[in-house]
Amino acid sequence: MTKQKPYMVRVNLHLSYVLLLIYFLFWVLINTTKADDIGVYWGQNSDEGTLANTCESRKYSYVNIAFLTTFGNGETPVLNLEGHCNPSSKGCTGLSLDIKSCQKQGIKVMLSIGGVSSTSQLTSSKDAKNVSDYLWNNFLGGKSSSRPLGDAVLDGIEFNPGDNGYSIYWMDLARYLKSNSTQNVSIGAAPQCPLVSAENSTFSSGYFDYLSVQFYNNPPCNFVSSSTSGFINAWHQWSNLKVKKIFLGLPASSDEAASGYIPANLLNSQVLPIIRNSSNYGGIMLWDRYSDVKSRYSDSIKFDTGDQASTPAERNKTHTEGKTPIPVESIKPHAGNGKRHLGEQTTTSG
């Protein structure tokens, strides 16, 4: 039997140590790196500032343009941006420059379809295919002479049907949108909490990149510091789904919710330590930009980065130097009730 020379033994041992170190560092990386993204809805208050302002704040990783309120079932699609611009007269095509500016900063810009005022629903797989074709040609990588937001190509679509719930046809819509090989279309959804068992197959289909779950206006899921079991159980149900990212959907102000608002100090001290342990934790999704400008809620969110707590504003300080943020005093009170996300829910959705 041939014996290894001493120097070869030393080389093999050294190589083994290096491989073990690489494995350990990789394990640490995947088990300590958290997404800690913040997303926000923009488009439902003309006093919230421009889309460009929103992205230049460097607070958000996702911006959802809200909403395409009418679609499907043969209806003429309607984009409602609450006074920002008038899509019917092609008055929103200028947003193309803002969208491209956001994307250059690494921010995903999505279109949210549905909303609390929407009654639209998908009626069949064929209907889902027609809606997919419309979205592809008018907001994504396709071509159309009537693109409401100009030639900018959005990063994806978020499904937000509210009380109408997620039928199997929403899975069909996701599948059709994902089938376009020329663009990696991001697909999100904004379901109500608690989880409805009938929707498990839709959300676990593998087509959804993220879920932004509304954990407010839904008492069974609302966070209550004196009794956290309902919140924790609900979060674990959602985080056990086969979805890449789960966002905690919250209002940026107590004015935006009948129940379930979580003060930033409790979010930092009691909620984030719980949800950040989930492997598919994605971050926080806020309703909405107008409320966040007023309350500065996102500035108060502190993510534990391992060495010290930091806010999004602190992490992005180098990007915002020399830029003038929108002063809170310039934001006018909104005439509506502000509850435009998914409405005031007190029972499970269906």
User: What integer pLDDT is reported at residue 337 of this predicted model?
Assistant: 38
User: What integer pLDDT is reported at residue 347 of this predicted model?
Assistant: 35
Per-range mean pLDDT, top range of 24-28, 81-85, 162-166: 81-85
User: What integer pLDDT is reported at residue 74 of this predicted model?
Assistant: 94
Q: Using a pLDDT cut of 70, give the percent of the chain over it.
A: 77
CB atoms within 10 A of CB 175: 17
In degrees, rounded to 5, the angle at the alpha carbon of residue 291 between the alpha carbons of residues 248 and 328 is: 135
The pLDDT tens digits for 156-215 are: 999 999 888 999 999 999 999 999 989 999 999 999 999 998 899 999 999 999 999 999
Q: What is the 3-state secondary structure (H, E, C) of 208-275?
A: CCEEEEECCCCCCCCCCCCCCHHHHHHHHHHHCCCCCEEEEEEECCHHHCCCCCCCHHHHHHHHHHHH
Angle between helices 168-178 and 125-139 (to 10 degrees): 40
pLDDT-derived band at 345, boundaries 50, 70, 90: very low
Q: What is the mean pLDDT of residues 24-47?
A: 72
pLDDT-derived band at 83, boundaries 50, 70, 90: confident
Question: Is residue 11 predicted with pLDDT exceeding 80?
Answer: no
Question: Is residue 34 predicted with pLDDT exceeding 60?
Answer: no
The amino acid at residue 155 is D
User: What integer pLDDT is reported at residue 292 of this predicted model?
Assistant: 98
Per the model's pLDDT, the better-predicted residue between 16 and 94 turns out to be: 94
Taking alpha carbons only, the member of 143, 69, 158 closest to residue 109 is 158
Question: Are 43 and 79 in contact, with CB atoms under 8 Å apart?
Answer: no
Per the model's pLDDT, the better-predicted residue between 323 and 205 turns out to be: 205
Q: Domain locations in the chain?
A: 35-330
The pLDDT tens digits for 97-135 are: 999 999 999 999 999 999 988 999 999 999 999 999 999
pLDDT-derived band at 28, boundaries 50, 70, 90: very low
Domain covering 35-330: architecture: Alpha-Beta Barrel (3.20)
User: What integer pLDDT is reported at residue 56 of this predicted model?
Assistant: 97
